[in-house]
């Protein structure tokens, strides 16, 4: 399974009103920037949609593609939101999304970006929101289109995200990170094929995620893309914990 994303398709139906993904940043600042028009199904960042499910696939047709509509909002409003910071710059990596007019001192949303994700693939993006050069919020969105519901589907979606979605410049992210994700995906394949004997593959995945998270913390000391990578990995760790709880 690999990430395949198509932008610019007309959506047949608007997203549910009030749908929002805060993206998994620090609770004290997680509403500084957020994703509107989609609902999190797994953790703070995961949106797992089965192709044709009208609750999440905008055309409601099992046609091999899940269609989403995603708007980036600055200073978002949600029941769990406290005071949010003003925003004057946002860096986007991975999936390209339109940004709201900046600087934003009140709730401001960009026009929705249509996103089509082929069944069996994911589309992911990270946002780094700043005010006066200071990092205020880091968020992550994982849009996953599944052909059918599976036991460990959310974990599979999390592991399919390419590390490049963190937006690290060339030379900052070691090539070994991609290889570790490849090994973790192979381990997940073994767990998915034989769920009753998933403990060993899960240990392999846990070790791989731990090593990448350690690397992300080192990168974050000199580049904020390390914070974004850390969020990608944390989401996968959370999905692994959920999978182990059902094992």
143 and 202 share one domain: no
Domain count, the chain: 2
The three-state secondary structure class of 145 is strand
202 and 169 share one domain: yes
Please say which residue of 114, 149, 184 terminates a domain: 149
Q: Tell me the residue ranges of DSSP E strands in the chain.
A: 5-7, 20-21, 33-36, 46-50, 65-74, 89-94, 108-109, 113-118, 121-131, 134-146
138 and 69 share one domain: yes
Instruction: Quote the CA–CA distance of 101 and 118 in Å, as a whole number.
Output: 30
Task: Indicate the pLDDT class of residue 200, thresholds 50, 70 and 90.
Answer: very high
145 and 200 share one domain: no
CA–CA–CA angle 54, 15, 140 (5° rounding) = 105
pLDDT mean across residues, the chain: 88
> Is 15's pLDDT higher than 50?
no
**Domain range enclosing 198:** 151-247
114 and 81 share one domain: yes
Task: Give residue-wise pLDDT tens across range 161-178.
Answer: 999 999 999 889 998 999
Provide, rounded to the nearest whole percent, the portion of the chain with pLDDT above 70.
Answer: 89
48 and 155 share one domain: no
24 and 59 share one domain: yes
> Is 7's pLDDT higher than 60?
no
The three-state secondary structure class of 119 is coil
Task: Give residue-wise pLDDT tens across range 54-111.
Answer: 999 999 999 999 999 999 998 877 767 766 778 899 999 999 899 999 998 888 899 9
Please say which residue of 129, 149, 169 terminates a domain: 149
> Is 202's pLDDT higher than 90?
yes
134 and 158 share one domain: no
**Quick one: CA dihedral 80, 84, 88, 89, positive or negative?**
negative
35 and 90 share one domain: yes
11 and 103 share one domain: yes
14 and 50 share one domain: yes
Please say which residue of 125, 149, 173 terminates a domain: 149
Instruction: Quote the CA–CA distance of 126 and 153 in Å, as a whole number.
Output: 21
139 or 28: which leads in pLDDT: 139
Asked, as a colleague might, if the bond just before 222 is cis with ω within 30 of 0, I would say: no
Tell me the C-alpha to C-alpha distance, in Å, between residue 96 and each of 52, 124, 129: 24, 9, 15
Task: Give residue-wise pLDDT tens across range 204-243.
Answer: 999 999 999 999 999 999 999 999 999 999 999 999 999 9
24 and 145 share one domain: yes
């Amino acid at each position: 399974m690999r990430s395949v994303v198509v932008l610019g398709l007309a959506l047949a139906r608007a997203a549910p009103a009030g749908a929002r993904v805060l993206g998994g940043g620090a609770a004290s600042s997680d509403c500084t920037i957020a994703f509107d028009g989609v609902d999190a199904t797994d953790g703070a960042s995961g949106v797992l949609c089965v192709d044709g499910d009208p609750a999440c696939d905008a055309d409601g047709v099992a046609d091999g593609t899940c269609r989403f509509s995603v708007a980036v909002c600055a200073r978002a409003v949600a029941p769990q939101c406290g005071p949010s910071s003003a925003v004057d710059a946002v860096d986007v990596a991975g999936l390209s999304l339109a940004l709201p007019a900046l600087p934003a001192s009140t709730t401001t949303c960009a026009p929705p970006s249509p996103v089509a994700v082929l069944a069996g693939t994911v589309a992911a993006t990270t946002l780094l929101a700043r005010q006066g050069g200071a990092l205020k919020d880091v968020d992550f969105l994982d849009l996953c289109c599944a052909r059918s519901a599976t036991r460990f589907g959310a974990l599979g979606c999390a592991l399919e995200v390419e590390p490049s979605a963190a937006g690290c410049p060339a030379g900052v992210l070691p090539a070994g990170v991609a290889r570790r994700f490849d090994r973790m995906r192979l381990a997940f394949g073994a767990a998915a094929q034989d769920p009753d004997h998933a403990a060993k593959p899960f240990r392999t995945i846990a070790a791989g995620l731990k090593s990448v998270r350690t690397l992300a913390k080192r990168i974050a000391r000199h580049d904020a893309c390390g914070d974004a990578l850390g969020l990608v990995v944390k989401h996968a760790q959370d999905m692994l914990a959920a999978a182990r709880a059902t094992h």
